[in-house]
Amino acid sequence: MKKNLLLVTGLVMLFSMSMFSCTGKNPVIQEAKELSGAGATFPKVLYEKYFDNYNQLKQVQVNYQAVGSGAGINTLIEKTIDFGATDAPMKAEEEEKAGAAVLHIPTSLGAVVITYNLEGSPKLKLNASAISGIFLGTIKKWNDPVLQQLNVGTTLPDANIVVIHRSDGSGTTYTFTEYLTKADPNWEKALGTGKTVNWPVGLGGKGNDGVAGLLTQTPNSIGYVELIFAAQNNLPYALIQNKSGNFVEPTLESVSKAADIELPDDLKVSITDTDSADGYPISTFTWIILYQEQNYNNRDITKARAVYNLLWWITHEGQDINETLQFGKLSDLAVQKAEALIKQITFDGKPIN
Amino acid sequence: MFYMRSDKVFKIVLLVFGFLILFFSIGIFIQLSSSAWLSIKQNGVSFLFKSVWDPNKDVYGALPFLIGTFITALLSVFLSLPLSIGTSLFLSDYVKGNFSNIISSLIDLLASIPSVVYGLWGLFMLVPYIRILENWLFKYAGFIPLFNSKPYGVGILSATVVLLIMILPYSISVIKEVLKMVPDDLKEAGYALGANKWEVMQKIVLPYIKSGIFAGTGLSLGRALGETMAVTMVIGNRNAVPTSLFDPANTLASVIANEFYEASSASHVSSLIYLALILFVFSFLVNFTMQLILRKINTGMIKK
């Protein structure tokens, strides 16, 4: 009896194996039907929408795990995924670990807004040194002369400022601190840029919701969240003075305009504290990252072609989805440069198309 | 013949299961130690006593988290003791039947609520009330060092209260089980000697269940030390040594949960795993001491 069972199982296994190998030999498949990516949580909603639409259109299923930019970079370096996603370009140290050239293809733009809980939710105007002073704890009260001067005509309360920041490592904190590092020398000396920094004051909330949760129940508090999150939750946000001296409201338009600058060919560019006159200064690209040479870890050319087509679609047709989800659209110049980058993708040293 | 063989096979299977547990715990320890090795080499033991945690500048010290973890865990366990002993006594000796069953199952239900739900409830329901309490204490009792810092609502006090509620069902269920084992003969003997209920509880029942109380405390302390999600949401996440009950702080588990995902530099990751190793060792020590104490109490009881 037992022997029979063994025999049957063996036969079934053999049969199914031969089935698979048959389909494997079928030469019709040109493009892999399944891709996997991992990385940033910030564009998760957008990417899910991209991949859902793309699946309906081209029947290619893309599995995206929003595990965080850092983890995305690490999994790409471990070569277990087809592409990674990150809010901050890879550091030199990470690129060295990657061992081969990695391309950064921008997909959209995001922004970090300064939000607050003040009675009457007045429209505040802030500049880099004021933000830096508040988050470093040197500006302690709302009616501090620095804040009053920026907001002539608004009465600010004689109350202590409660600072709320992200407690978890995040691209949002990275963008926020990078802006302040560039725009304010005090910040650079005190904390610098990072996904987590050593906050001297304030409370930490986990995730955008954690920050918003603390903010809504703490009167006279101030914090920073992603633009999409503030828009979805009707949080008030401040106008920020950019390098050209203009106070800019964070909108999809002003965020996209932040990228209206000389872009380098590799598109690994930080656009915080932008030179663009109408650009919102705390904006950032978010990137999909992939190996330029696609033949690694036994991947075949069908995978490479699928990635190539996916990226082409995202940077062209896919861009129409961005603004429906409160993400900034790539400018024409950025798309042109992205095209050039995508064309650099190779398999066995040969271009894909 | 056949029965002999199945018996042997069963024995081997059980042996494998037993060793599997041993293998897992030792495996986790080895894995943690090896991943933390980089940080152990860089920071040494002084890691435990340094109070600055700044991944950006590659400075790592665990003191704020150690203090945050132990204050919240010990305080919540300490505060939960009278509550859990009282509730168990009430359920086993003062009410009988349906009412007791309903309360018992509600308590069991408390244990099965996911911790993120506790965290959300804590943040949105509990913290506003705690803030009112803290403001009041700050105003009228602010001269006492414990209440001597600006209240935010979130902080050590909120984390302690949330933990307190989370660990209650664990200690209650253990103590309740032990209470069932108190022989009725003893209690009846007490009553026969003219003792009232309070005296029976105090002189006969409580001494009898000492070991159960220890076991319950140990279990809840272990739970409180490692609780992550709920604590993270209400503790305020400040990486500094707290000076009062109102201060925002951070715990070993919550800082790992906060920073691990986006940690990319090798020394940062390794330092976070070093924290995990410390937590692992402390949890192990807590369990181990509890076992020792239990054994002492039990053998002592038998000798009597």
Residue from the list B56, B150, B238 with its beta carbon closest to the beta carbon of A192: B56
Distance, CA of A91 to CA of A95 (rounded, Å): 6
Mean pLDDT value across residues B26-32? 95
Q: From chain B, pick out residues whose CB is under 8 angstroms from the CB of A71.
A: 261-262
**What is the predicted pLDDT for the residue at A27?**
44
Which of residues 181 through 210 in chain A touch B, CB cutoff 8 A? 191-199, 202-206, 210
**Domain A34-109+284-351 fold:** D-Maltodextrin-Binding Protein; domain 2 (3.40.190)
Tell me the shortest Cα–Cα distance from A312 to chain B, in angstroms.
Answer: 28
Q: Which of A73, A74, A167 sits opposite B237 (nearest CB)?
A: A167
User: How far separated are the first and last CA of chain A, in Å rounded?
Assistant: 57
Interchain pair A206, B154: CB under 8 A: no
Q: Which residues of A touch B59 (CB under 8 A)?
A: 198
- Per the CB < 8 A criterion, the answer to whether A320 and A50 are in contact is no
Name the pairing type of β-strands A162-166 and A221-226.
parallel
Say whether B239 and A192 touch across the interface (CB within 8 A). Answer: no
**pTM as predicted:** 0.84
Do B238 and A214 lie within an 8 Å CB cutoff?
Answer: no
pLDDT bucket at B293, cuts 50 / 70 / 90: confident
With respect to residue B12, please indicate whether it lies within any of the assigned structural domains: no
Q: Tell me the backbone φ, ψ of residue B218, rounded to 5 degrees.
A: -60, -45
In order, the DSSP letters of B120-173 are: HHIIIIIHHHHHHHHHHHHHHHTTSGGG-S---SSSHHHHHHHHHHHHHHHHHH
- Which residue, among B131, B231, B262, would best test binding to A if mutated, counting the most A CBs under 10 Å from its CB? B262
Residue B26 is assigned to a structural domain of this protein? no
* Domain assignment present for B17: no
Q: How far is A25 from chain B (nearest CA, A)?
A: 40
Q: Test B57 with A206 for CB contact under 8 angstroms.
A: no
Q: What are phi and psi of A351, to 5 degrees?
A: -60, 155
pLDDT by position in tens, chain A (length 353) = 455 655 555 555 555 544 444 444 444 457 889 999 999 888 988 999 999 999 999 999 999 998 888 888 989 999 999 999 998 889 888 899 999 999 999 999 999 999 999 999 999 999 999 999 999 999 999 999 999 999 998 999 999 999 999 999 888 999 999 999 999 999 999 999 988 999 999 999 988 888 998 999 899 999 999 998 898 889 999 999 999 999 999 999 999 999 999 999 999 999 999 999 999 999 999 999 999 999 998 888 999 999 999 999 999 999 999 999 889 999 999 999 999 999 999 999 888 87
DSSP per-residue codes, A165-180 = EE-S--HHHHHHHHHH
Find the domain containing B179 and state its range. 31-36+43-303
Query: What's the CATH number for A111-283?
Result: 3.40.190.10
Report the pLDDT value the prediction gives residue B148, as an integer from 0 to 100: 83
Work out how many domains chain B is built from and give that number: 1
Nearest to A196 among B59, B254, B259 (CB): B259
Q: Where are the domains of chain A?
A: 34-109+284-351, 111-283
Q: Do domains A34-109+284-351 and A111-283 have the same CATH topology?
A: yes
Q: CATH number for the domain including B124?
A: 1.10.3720.10
pLDDT reading at B94 higher than 90: no
Pairwise CB contact (< 8 Å): B238 & A204:
yes
- Torsion angle of alpha carbons A199, A201, A204, A208, nearest 10°? -80
- Residue pair B41/B273 in contact (Cβ under 8 Å)? The answer is no
Task: Determine the 3-state secondary structure of A125 from DSSP.
Answer: strand
On average, the pLDDT of chain B sits at 89
Nearest CA in chain B to A194: B56
| Chain B residues with beta carbon closer than 8 angstroms to that of A202 | 238
Q: Check: CB of residue B163 under 8 Å from CB of residue B74.
A: no
Q: Nearest residue of A to residue B229 by CA position?
A: A206
